Amino acid sequence: MIDAATIRKDFPLLERRYGDTPLVYLDSAATTQKPNSVIDAISTYYRETNANVHRGAYRLADEATTAYESARTKVAGLINARSSSEVIFTRGTTAALNLLALRWADHLLSEGDRILLTLMEHHSNIVPWQLVAQRTGAELVYLDITPDFAIDLDRLDEVLDERVKIATVSGMSNVMGTIGPVDEITKAARAVGASVIVDGAQLVPHMPVDVQALDVDFLTFSAHKMLGPTGIGALWGRGELLDAMEPLEGGGEMITDVGLYESRWAPIPHKFEAGTPPIAQAVGFGAAVDYLVDLGMDDVRAHELDITAYALDRLAEVPDLTVYGPQDPARRGGAVSFELADIHAHDLATILDEEQGVAVRAGHHCAKPLMRHLEVPATARASFYVYTVPEDIDALVIGLMRAREIFGIA
């Protein structure tokens, strides 16, 4: 079991104060804080090992290459990839999804084909597909949300026919916390021969994920949402699919030969990693994976279940507060969106921040289609991670009561 109060000490930012008020960080779905081990791995890399990778005949460059490639092995291990060559380092989830849209979907789809999404997708898993649709003539089809904030699977069979070539679904909603029905959608998609992409930006950080067991085709995630640095994330894909995909970017490192008018590509993963890669970031990503593996992903999930249950209970004590998301912690992760009476989310965020040092996000959370569906222009969102303690939730609740006072709500 995770002892969040103890591991907090590994996270220097959590010691921040505004004057007398300690910071209460409840915005981990946007980006997580970093343990010292990650911050130090990056500094140590720059202080002791920094060199460009893959082309050095000297020892330092060899050390740098080993550091970079062993990060890949760690990331591959976390998601149980068959081979580390199936892990492509990208700038993040958004870059990974766009790579798939531009080089997988563009070649696969034509007029009349369909892409299946859900209404709970993040903009990063919507906009790339809108652009694919515009380029190829394919259509987007959305699965609905039920009144209890789940993906509506009732129409799945109806919607999934052989026109659907790609199903792309969030593993976990960054707004409602809802765990996506990846299993059901994958089975149904397989039956009609569609490929399955999972936007794992919120899933991979929060639960054990095994790509071989999931039986999906592609998985994308971002290091910065799982204790790692900004500027790096990963695309995992089945080797044979990645082998068949054309590179998006050309340049150094991704070739075996360059002529004046033609070039030959290196094998995966390098084919998709043109130019100097985010080396120090990969090292930091590897350290983040080490930290999570040490905690144990089962325990990470167990802690999230506990803290989310506690949060939902405490929020239920606040009058006039509406939670947009499942009430059952087993069906969700620790991103909790809510609205309080007629107080706009933005005002709520200011009051929580100023009164209690509580950092929550306010707005559309890069999920405008979902917000329109929920008929709410903006929500406030508190989101948790391995270092979140019940006291953080208590501060949130005090702040919410104070907001009621300030807005003169009896």
Interface residues with other proteins (CB under 8 A)? 54-59, 61-62, 255-257, 266, 342-347, 350-351, 354-355, 362-364, 377-378, 406-408
Q: Which stretch binds ligand PLP (CB under 6 A): 90-98, 143-151, 190-198, 305-313?
A: 90-98
Which CB sits closer to ligand PLP, 365 or 404?
365
Q: Which stretch binds a copy of itself (CB under 8 A): 35-43, 76-84, 312-320, 390-398?
A: 35-43
DSSP state of 76: H
Q: Which of 25, 92, 90, 94 is nearest to 366 (CA)?
A: 94
Give how far the C-alpha of residue 219 lies from the chain's centroid of Cα atoms, to the nearest Å. Answer: 10
| Binding track over 291-320 against a copy of itself, x by CB under 8 A | ------------------------------
Q: What is the DSSP code string of 295-358? A: H-HHHHHHHHHHHHHHHHHHHHTSTTEEEES-S-GGGB-SEEEEEETTB-HHHHHHHHHHHH-E
Q: How many residues does the chain have?
A: 410
Report what 39 binds from other proteins, a copy of itself, ligand PLP, none; CB cut-off 5-8 Å by kind.
Answer: a copy of itself
Which CB sits closer to other proteins, 111 or 342?
342
Question: Could you give the CA distance from residue 103 to residue 250 in angstroms, rounded to a whole number?
Answer: 13
Report what 266 binds from a copy of itself, other proteins, ligand PLP, none; CB cut-off 5-8 Å by kind.
Answer: other proteins
**CA triple 333-378-26, angle to 5 deg:** 40
Subset of 250-309 contacting ligand PLP (CB under 6 A)? 252, 275-276
Question: Could you give the CA distance from residue 186 to residue 164 in angstroms, rounded to a whole number?
Answer: 12
Which CB sits closer to ligand PLP, 300 or 318?
300
Which CB sits closer to a copy of itself, 300 or 380?
380
| Binding track over 247-266 against a copy of itself, x by CB under 8 A | -xxxxxxxx-xxxxxxx---
53, containing H or E segment: none
Which CB sits closer to ligand PLP, 96 or 312?
96
Describe the crossing of helices 390-406 and 345-356 by its angle, rounded to 10 degrees.
120
Which CB sits closer to other proteins, 216 or 345?
345
- SS3 for 199-252, per residue? ECCCHHHHCCCCHHHHCCCEEEEEHHHCCCCCCCEEEEECHHHHHHCCCCCCCC
Catalytic residue among 366, 370, 380, 382: 366
What is the smallest separation between the CB atom of 335 and a copy of itself, expressed in angstroms?
Answer: 13
Q: Interface with a copy of itself includes 335 (CB under 8 A)?
A: no
Please identify which residue in 54, 72, 74, 122 interacts with ligand PLP, judged by CB under 6 A.
Answer: 122
Phi and psi, residue 367, nearest 5°: -145, 55
Is 109 marked active-site? no
Question: Could you give the CA distance from residue 83 to residue 81 in angstroms, rounded to a whole number?
Answer: 5
Question: Could you give the CA distance from residue 101 to residue 88 in angstroms, rounded to a whole number?
Answer: 15
What is the smallest separation between the CB atom of 402 and other proteins, expressed in angstroms?
Answer: 8
Q: Interface with a copy of itself includes 230 (CB under 8 A)?
A: yes
Describe the crossing of helices 390-406 and 297-316 by its angle, rounded to 10 degrees.
30
Report what 140 binds from ligand PLP, a copy of itself, other proteins, none; CB cut-off 5-8 Å by kind.
Answer: a copy of itself
> How, if at all, do strands 195-199 and 164-170 pair?
parallel
Report what 278 binds from a copy of itself, other proteins, ligand PLP, none; CB cut-off 5-8 Å by kind.
Answer: a copy of itself
User: Tokens representing 379?
Assistant: 């929500």
Q: Interface with a copy of itself includes 151 (CB under 8 A)?
A: no
Q: Which residues are catalytic?
A: 366
Residues near ligand PLP (CB under 6 A) are: 92-94, 122, 124-125, 170, 174, 199, 201-202, 222, 224, 233, 252, 275-276, 366
